[in-house]
Structure 1
Amino acid sequence: MATPGNAEIISSVLDRVTAGYVFPRRAAEVDRALRARLAAGEYDALSGAALCEAVTGHLQEACPDRHLRLLWQDEPRTGTSGCCGRTSPGRSPHPRTRARAGRRSSP
C-alpha cells in the first residue's frame, strides 16, 4: 500500500474543510491560502508531526478557529480507515485529519 504524499494529505484536509465548514467563504479562503503554500513547495520537506504543525498553523492563520487542525497519530491503526480512506495495517504513516464543521448534533 502506498503512503499518501503531502499533496494528497493536504488536498484531503482541504476537501473536508470546504465540504463541511460552517462558514463557506472562510473555507474558500483557507483552501486558497493552503493550496498556494502547497504549490510554492512549503510542505515538500515536511512529514509526520512537523507537517501537521505547519498545516495547523496555516489553517488557523487563514481562519482563526482552533477547531481547524491536522493531527498526527503514531500509534498503530490496525483495521481502521486513515485520513485518505485507506485501511492502515500497522503504524499510521500519515496524519489523521480533523476538520470540524463547527456544528453540533442534537442529543
Structure 2
Amino acid sequence: MWERFAYYLLAGILFLYLIGDKSGGGKGLQEKNAADVTGTFLALIWLPLFVGGMIADRYLGYIKSIFIGGGLAGAGLSGTYAARRYGHVRLSRPDHLRQRIFQTQYQHPFGEHI
C-alpha cells in the first residue's frame, strides 16, 4: 500500500514540478513534454521492480524482501525530501553539510517561507 502511495504521489509531484514556472522553482515545460517525461519515468519504474521481484523470489524470501523493500523506499523518499529541503548536499564534507542545513531557508510548496 505504501509503495503505491509513494509511486502516485511522486508522479504527481514530478508533473507539477515540470510544468511549474521557472520563477517559482519549476522547469517551465509544456504539459505535453512534461507528460512525456513523467510517462517515461513511470514506465522505467517497473524494470527495477521486476528484477527485484526475481531476486526476492529466488534468494531472499518473502519476509526479508518486505523489510528490505520498505527500508529502501523510506531511504529514497527521505533522500528526496533532504535534497529539496537542504539543497544539493555533499556528504563528503560534514562542515559544508552543517552550514547548509542551518543557512537554508525552506520554501513551502505553496510559496510561503517557513
Shared fold, TM over 0.5 = no
Place the TM-score, normalised by the shorter chain, in its bin.
Answer: 0.3 to 0.5
TM-score normalised to structure 2 length: 0.32
Identify which of structures 1 and 2 has the higher relative contact order when contacts are C-alpha pairs closer than 8 Å and 6+ apart. Answer: 1
- The answer to which structure has the higher helix fraction is 2
TM-score normalised to structure 1 length: 0.33
- The answer to which structure has the higher strand fraction is 1
* The structure with more radius of gyration: 2
